Structures are given as C-alpha cells and as structure tokens.
C-alpha cells in the first residue's frame, strides 16, 4: 500500500493572534516536498519504487529485508540516503492459549531521502504504529518539507514506543512472578522465557539504533539545523533511558529465573529424599516377611502374629528415628 502526504502552511490572518498552522493532507501522487508511505509492499509496489522514484536497487533490497539491522547508508552518485531503524511491535502469531501474555519483537522501518526530488520515502514491512501516528496527524509540528526533522520525530516516537513496551513487559513480569510464588506451573515459566526473548530483541535493536543515531548526530550525511539539535538531544535521552531500562529488566529477569531454578531444584531434592525414605521404611515389612518365609528355623516362626507385630514395630521405630534425624530437617 502506497500513500502520499504533503504539509501545507496556513498563514494566520492579519491582526490575528493565532500562529500559522501546519495541515498535512493526502495527495494523489508524488510531489515535491511530500512524504511517501509504503506499508507491506507487494511486487508491484517494489517495481514502482525502483522505476518511478528511481531509488537505488540496493536501497530497495535493504528496505525489504526483514532481518536488516539499523544503519545509515549514503549513495555518492545520486545523493540518496537510507536510514533503517528497528521498531517494536507485538507478535500476532502466538500459538499460546493464554492470551494474557504479550510478546514483542522488532521490525525494520526504512527512511529513504531523495534530495533530487525533495521527497521522503518510508518503507515498513508491517503495520507500524509510528507510521500510523504520523499519517493520522497525531504528531505536533509535523512538516513533510522538513525531512531531517521528520526523521528525528520518528526516532523520538520509536524510542517512546520502546519505553511503553518495556513498562508493559515489567508489569506482566511482576504479575507472572506473583503467580510463580503460588504455583510452579510450566505456563508461568514459559511466559518468563517469552519475556527474556523480547528483552533480547529489544536490547540488540536499541544498541544498533543508538549507533545509527550517533552517526546522524555527526551531521556529515544528513544536514542538521540548529532547531534540530534540541530534538536530537531529546531522542538521545529517550534512547539512553530505553537502553538502561532494558538492561535493568534483563538483569532482574535473569536473576529471578536463576532463583526460581534453584527453588525448583531444591524442591526436587526434597521430593527425592522423601521418596527415598518412604522406600526404605516400606521395605522393612518385606524384609521381615522374607526372613520368616525361608525354610530356616526362627524364633516364634509358628506364630503368624509375631511377624506382623515385629514388622509394625520395626516400621514405626524406623519412622520415628528418621523423622528426628537431620535428614528430615
């Protein structure tokens, strides 16, 4: 799906205290200063990117690679710039019956700058909340003519989405930890593994996106204006906070998983010890009846009740001794 957006500036009336307003509307085709949004492109959309917008084939291939990591690239011949960042999203292909658990993953969002046509192109292989927020006019001071500023605004929105997802993971983790304290079910442990997987994806994506942000901050590939510096600092702060939160949650999760693993091993040892003691106690009657069942003269072997009484007394004595011993403490 391909959509086109362009921002127009509405001048304030003379004598009015109202400032000028930015209105972003859909347009019918690519125009100078517009934003081209490509979501879940098919084969025809890919040909259109190459033939109509004349985007470098290498940039198109990188934009359509689901495993592409965050980076920035520049083409010397055309002056086109490719910026790929990783966006968080909720996995929709969960096969778990319990829908209370939400797992996260990341997917690349590509931004292609076409300076010869003054156009910004975004390519997203999945539905992106960041792209939808800009398309629906939820971002303040969004102007398609300011391409570098749009990039920074998208990076700011993406970093804020990471923070929202990390807080959601933390809330689910606390609730699942409370359930684990009550019962050691496999479902809760599997959920913990899902949290760990989501944090690993986030950590890897955040580190690569931070490296891309640092290259953008140099101003060598993309020109940064003075009014963009403050926005760049905000993005850097949000990104650093997301990285720190992801690291803290990962450490807490790993420590919690190790603690619960030790608890499970300890419970298993206690169970095995109890079973071993029960096996030892229950083997006493078998030993007594085994002795009296042999063809060897034994005291009072003609009295059937003596063997029964002896086995009962021996079993009770062994039980009392084992209960008072250090093995049951």
Q: What is the mean pLDDT of residues 154-161?
A: 92
What is the percent of the chain where pLDDT is above 70? Answer: 86
Residues 249 and 316 in one domain: no
Domain of 323?
267-328
Residues 94 and 185 in one domain: yes
Phi/psi at 52 (5° precision): -80, -45
Residues 278 and 164 in one domain: no
Residues 220 and 296 in one domain: no
> Final residue of a domain: which of 239, 265, 291?
265
Q: What's the pLDDT at 158?
A: 92
Residues 236 and 282 in one domain: no
Q: Residue 79's beta-bridge partner residues?
A: none
> Final residue of a domain: which of 215, 241, 265?
265
Residues 155 and 217 in one domain: yes
Residues 236 and 312 in one domain: no
CA distances, 198 to each of 124, 192, 290, 303 (Å): 20, 10, 60, 72
Residues 127 and 40 in one domain: yes
Q: Give the CATH number, domain containing residue 32.
A: 3.30.460.20
- pLDDT at residue 4 is higher than 80: yes
pLDDT in tens, 185-222: 777 777 888 888 888 889 888 999 899 888 888 878 88
CB 166 within 8 A of CB 242: yes
Q: What is the DSSP letter of 52?
A: T
Sheet holding 2-10, edge to edge: 21-27, 2-10, 34-39, 119-124, 104-114, 81-90, 71-74
Cα separation, 188 vs 182, in Å, equals 11
Mean pLDDT of the chain: 81
What's the total number of domains in the chain?
A: 2
Q: Within 13 Å and on the Cβ side, how many CA atoms surround 168?
A: 15
Cα separation, 204 vs 108, in Å, equals 13
Residues 261 and 272 in one domain: no
> Final residue of a domain: which of 245, 265, 285?
265
Q: Within 13 Å and on the Cβ side, how many CA atoms surround 242?
A: 33
Residues 198 and 293 in one domain: no
CB 133 within 8 A of CB 139: yes
Q: Report the length, in residues, of the chain.
A: 329
More confident: 73 or 102 = 73
Residues 70 and 196 in one domain: yes
Residues 215 and 128 in one domain: yes
């Amino acid at each position: 799906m391909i959509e086109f957006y362009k921002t127009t500036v509405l001048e304030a009336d003379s004598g009015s205290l109202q400032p000028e307003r930015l209105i972003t509307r859909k347009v019918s085709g690519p125009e100078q200063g517009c934003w081209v949004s490509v979501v879940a492109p098919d084969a025809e959309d890919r040909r259109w990117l190459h033939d109509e917008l004349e985007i470098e084939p290498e940039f198109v291939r990188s934009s359509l690679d689901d495993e592409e990591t965050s980076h920035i690239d520049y083409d010397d011949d055309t002056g086109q710039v490719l910026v790929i960042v990783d966006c968080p999203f909720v996995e929709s292909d969960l096969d778990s019956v319990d829908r209370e658990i939400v797992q996260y993953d990341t997917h690349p969002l590509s931004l292609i700058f076409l300076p010869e046509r003054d156009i910004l192109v975004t390519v997203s292989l999945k539905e992106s909340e960041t792209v939808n927020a800009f398309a629906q006019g939820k971002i303040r001071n969004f102007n398609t003519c300011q391409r570098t500023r749009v990039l920074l605004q998208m990076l700011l929105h993406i970093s804020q989405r990471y923070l929202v997802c990390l807080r959601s993971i933390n809330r689910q983790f606390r609730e699942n930890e409370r359930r684990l304290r009550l019962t050691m079910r496999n479902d809760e442990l599997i959920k913990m593994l899902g949290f760990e997987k989501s944090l690993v994806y986030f950590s890897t994506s955040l580190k690569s996106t931070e490296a891309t942000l640092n290259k953008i901050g140099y101003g060598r590939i993309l020109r940064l204006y003075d009014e963009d510096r403050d926005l760049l600092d905000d993005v850097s702060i949000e990104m650093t906070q997301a990285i720190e939160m992801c690291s803290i949650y990962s450490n807490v999760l790993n420590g919690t998983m190790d603690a619960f693993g030790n608890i499970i091993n300890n419970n298993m040892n206690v169970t095995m010890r109890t079973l071993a003691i029960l096996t030892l106690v229950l083997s006493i009657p078998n030993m007594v009846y085994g002795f009296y069942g042999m063809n060897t003269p034994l005291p009072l072997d003609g009295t059937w009740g003596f063997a029964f009484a002896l086995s009962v007394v021996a079993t009770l004595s062994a039980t009392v001794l084992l209960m008072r011993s250090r093995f049951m403490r």
